[in-house]
Structure 1
Amino acid sequence: MLRLLLRPIPLILFLVFFTAIPILNSLVNVFQIPTGTYPEDSARLAVAPLSWFVHVLAGVAFGITGPVQFVRALRQRFGALHRVLGRIFVVSGAIIGLSGLSILAQVTSQRTPMVDIARGVFGVALLIALALAMAAIRNRDFQRHRAWVIRAYAVGMGLGTVAVVFFPIYLVTGQPPIGLGSDILFVASWVLTIVFAEVVIRRSCRAHPKAFE
C-alpha cells in the first residue's frame, strides 16, 4: 500500500480523498459566514468572524493547491504555474496558521485543554514547516523543499483524517462527538496524519532520491 502511495497519481488521489470533507466544509462556510447561515454547532466561532472567514477561505486554497504541488509533470512542463500555485499554497498556509491561532485566542473552547494545546502546536508547526520549505527552495534544495511541503500539508490538513474518523459518528448522532475519549481520538488522528507523512517522506527519499528535482 505504501509503495503504491509513493507514486504521484495514487498519492494525489489519496490526498484528495482524505481532504475532501474539510475542503468542502470550508467551501460551504465561505458562503455561510457572511450570510450568518452557519449551523448552530459553529455559532461560537462567530465571535471571531474575520479570523474564521479568512481561515476557511485559506483552507480551500491550501487544500486544493496542495496535491497539485506534487504533480511532477506540472513542475517539469509548467514551472511558472507550479511556482504561482506554490506561492498561493504558502500564503494560504500561513493565513491558516495565523488565523487558527487567532481563533484559538478568541473563541471559548468546548473541548479539553489537550485539544487547544494541540491546535496551538500544530498552528505554529505549520508556520515553521512553510518557512523551512521556502528556505530550502531558495537554496535549491528540492528534496528538502518537497519534504517540508509534505509536512506542512499534513499539519495543515490533518483535520482530513479527523473528519474521516468523526464524520460517520456525526451522521449517526447528529452532533460532533465530545468528551475526553473523543478529544484523544481527535488529537491522535491528527498526529497519525503527520506520522504517515513522515513515513512517506523517508520512503520516497530512499526509493527515488532524485524524484523531487
Structure 2
Amino acid sequence: MKQSTIFSISKPKGYLTLIFWIFIIVFGGSFILKDALPYFGFNEDILGRWWEYKWSLIGHISGGLLAISIGPFQFWKGFRNKYLKTHRWLGRIYLIAILIGTISATHLAWTSALKIHWTWAFALQGLAIAWIITATMAYVSVMRKRIQQHKDWMIRSYVVTFAFVTFRWLTELPMVQELGSFVERGPTTIWVSWAIPLLITEVFINWNKK
C-alpha cells in the first residue's frame, strides 16, 4: 500500500496546482519583501504622506500580509487533512487579520485617500468591503457545516486578498502608467485588480457544477 503524506502528488492536475502555488508564493513573496516590509521601518521618508496615518497603514498592511501568508496553507489539502486543528486556528487568524486590515483600510479611505480624490477613497473602500464580505461568508459557511460552500468562499476571499499584490503589479506596468495621473488611473486599477479576477474565479468555481 502506498503511504499518503502531505507532500504526495499523484495526478497531472496536482503538478499544475503545485506550479500555480509556487507562482503565487514567489509573486506574493516578492511583493512582501519589496513593497510591504519597508513600511515597518517607520521611516518618515518612506511613509511619506502616510506618516500621519502610519498606524492605520501598518494595520492594513499587517492584516494583508498575514492573510496572504496563511492562504496557501489553508488550501493545501494534505496539510489541512493532517493538521485539521492547526487549519482551524489559522482560519481564525486569517479572519481576524482581514478584519483588522478592513478597519484600517476604511480609516485610510476616508482620510489619506480622500485627500487625493473621492474616487480613490471609494475604490479603496470597495475593495475593503469585498475583502471582509468574502471572508465572512467563508466563516459563516463553515459554521453551518457547508464545507464545499466554505471552500468556494475561501477561494473568493483569497482572490480579493491577493488584489493588493495584483494592484501593485499593475501600477508598475508602463502601459498603465501611461494612462494618466494617479487620480485618473488609480481608482480604475484597484477595481480591476479584484473585480476581474473575481469574475474569472466565479466561472472557474461554477463551471462543472450541476
For the aligned pair, the TM-score class normalised by the smaller chain equals 0.7 to 0.9
Kept after mapping to 2: 8 A contact 1:29/1:53: yes
- Alignment CA distance shift 1:6-1:91 (3 Å): farther
Work out the CA distance in 2 between the residues paired with 1:112 and 1:105. 10
Q: 1:70-127 CA distances to partner (integer Å, 9 max, x unpaired)? A: 1000111111111121111111111111111011122144654333212111211211
Work out the CA distance in 1 between the residues paired with 2:63 and 2:196. 23
Work out the CA distance in 2 between the residues paired with 1:195 and 1:5. 24
Aligned to 1:123: 128
Identify which range, 21-30 or 60-69, moves more after superposition: 21-30
Matched, 1:27 2:9: no
Aligned to 1:133: 138
The amino acid across from 2:22 in the alignment is L
Kept after mapping to 1: 8 A contact 2:120/2:183: no
- Alignment CA distance shift 1:29-1:91 (3 Å): same
Which structure exhibits the higher relative contact order, with contacts defined as CA atoms closer than 8 Å and separated by 6 or more residues?
Answer: 1
The amino acid across from 2:171 in the alignment is F
Work out the CA distance in 2 between the residues paired with 1:110 and 1:103. 10
Q: 1:149-180 CA distances to partner (integer Å, 9 max, x unpaired)? A: 1111222221222222223449x99xx96241
Aligned to 1:97: 102
TM-score (norm 2): 0.78
Kept after mapping to 2: 8 A contact 1:4/1:10: no
SS at match of 2:172: helix
- Alignment CA distance shift 1:115-1:19 (3 Å): farther
Query: Could you tell me the percent identity over the aligned residues?
Result: 20
- Alignment CA distance shift 1:96-1:37 (3 Å): same
Structure 1 unaligned blocks of 5 or more: none
Kept after mapping to 2: 8 A contact 1:154/1:194: yes
Q: 1:154-212 CA distances to partner (integer Å, 9 max, x unpaired)? A: 22221222222223449x99xx9624145433432332222233233224xx28x9xxx
The alignment's C-alpha RMSD in Å is 3.1
Aligned to 1:200: 204
- Alignment CA distance shift 1:198-1:87 (3 Å): same
Aligned to 1:16: 25
Structure with bigger gyration radius: 2
Structure 2 unaligned blocks of 5 or more: 1-11
